[in-house]
Structure 1
Amino acid sequence: MPQSAPPNTRQAALWNDVSGKAWVEMQPILDEILAPFERLVVDAGYPREGSNVLDIGCGAGATTLAMARRVGNDGNCVGLDISQPLVALATERTKLGGVANASFEVGDAQTYAFESGHFDAVISRFGVMFFDDPMAAFTNIRKAVRRRGKLAFVAWRSPLENDFMTTAVRAAAPFLPPAPAPDPDAPGQFAFADGAKVKRILEASGWASIEVEQADVPCRIAQRDLMAYATRLGPLGAALREVDRATAEKITTVLPAAFAPFVKDGEARFNAACWLVTAHA
């Protein structure tokens, strides 16, 4: 009998290759852009000093390190990510920063064999929208948390509410083959755009006291970094790796004008529309 493929294989392939490597190279820029979310998630998910905390989809480790500092030397924060390149970078940053109570592991939170009831809290900064089976993932994550332990994460709201995030793809669309209509249930950046859907997933996964609140966060990126950000990450970054040089040049030529409405005084400023989701095990 043929065996089914393990879950999240496509995401694992992406984040252990081109996507993961791009995030490693762009880490300083991304940390600066996402810094406001780091504070938001750590504040919402902080259990108490001396606690054990799990960071899902930890990337290059910024939120893990921030929470490790917050829980103090008697606490511990573990970052888990499916991307080997990002975990390697996070581990290196931890050593350089001398944060002894933070550590990182490569793993898929949907299937990872967590120790039951080990963590006091789970946090995530845009790391939980990529599961093939979100219900299975949040059920597995819940088992890792003690009774009444906290869950806190941020996830993007809809593309319509995040015009900056979709500007590059919209500007490039005339030069690319027609894209199929996005599947709202497929893993990806906007997979949790429907707040009611997020609440249903968590309820079915055994979480309680669920709150799904709108969070509109002012963000900025230096103008000098904007084109690298737009062309190396996300759907456009993937598309540019597949097109010929002439097409790529056409796309990169139109991007500055497309982003011009966001740019002032040497930086692009935009509103990031997301959900701040909290719950208890």
Structure 2
Amino acid sequence: MLDSRHIRTFHEVVSTGSYTAAARSLGYTQPAVTQQIRALEREVGVPLFARDGRRMRLTEAGESLARHAEVILGNLGAAKQQLQALARLRAGRVRVCAFPSANATLIPEAMAGLMADHPEIRVELQEAEPPESVNRLLAGECDIALSFSYPGMLRTELPEEVVEVRLMEDLLTVLLPVGHPLARRHAVRLAELSQARWIAGCPRCRATFLHVCADQGFEPDIVVTTDDNLALQSLVAAGVGLAVAPSLVLSFLSHRQVTGRALEPHVRRQVSAYVLRDHLALPATALVLEGLKAAGAARIGC
């Protein structure tokens, strides 16, 4: 079995280009680095480095191991993070990573009920758009990740250790200045706005918006892009352009000069929570998930 310390030292030698630089980076002496590389070569049974004059180069075996070393170390790091997460979860501390509109709506609603019944639970909130939120879960940097996907979107294949918990479907709406002629309607057809200027949101939402516009026979004139929901509202209020936003955003509209209307054709995104299968049975994780499911269910039909 390969020693992870030797793999780490080997990776550092490859990254820095010399035993001396690797020793400096790791806080070892150069003889200690040399001894670890020799021990690793004994473990694998072949030389990993060869001298080329004064320079040192990887052998074919060294090249092969170098391709795997970063993955091995990454997996070890993730495993360590996940084991540490178990200890935090058993102590009632849960790290939740969600996209901005969920952090502003579903999370507060879930936490309000949770804190009333289970004041011992402690929650650390993080913010990231998908797929970064799920990547943090896989890296052991959070315990529950909230993400969303649109119909037809190619979904990343997740490992079997990850479980999806569906929370709600979120209907897309169009944000208009209150004085806009179409603001008096209950719903607005996207095709009627083909000549409008637009503010586009996060990359996933933007890609879906472009696809829906193409289906309606036009290419939108996007004048500004932003991931900031408050900035998006301010831009609409100022008359810079219109915006398509999920209905969750309507819950925290900060401008009286902005209103939201249902968009036709209807487009919904699926909002889900993701958690490691081994953590599902832990009380702290289960309680937070139940709170999130209740918050999502309360919004169905809204």
Q: After TM superposition, is the score higher than 0.5?
A: no
TM-score, L = length of structure 2 = 0.29
Structure whose alpha-carbon radius of gyration is higher: 2
Q: When the two structures are superposed, what TM-score results if normalisation uses the length of structure 1?
A: 0.31
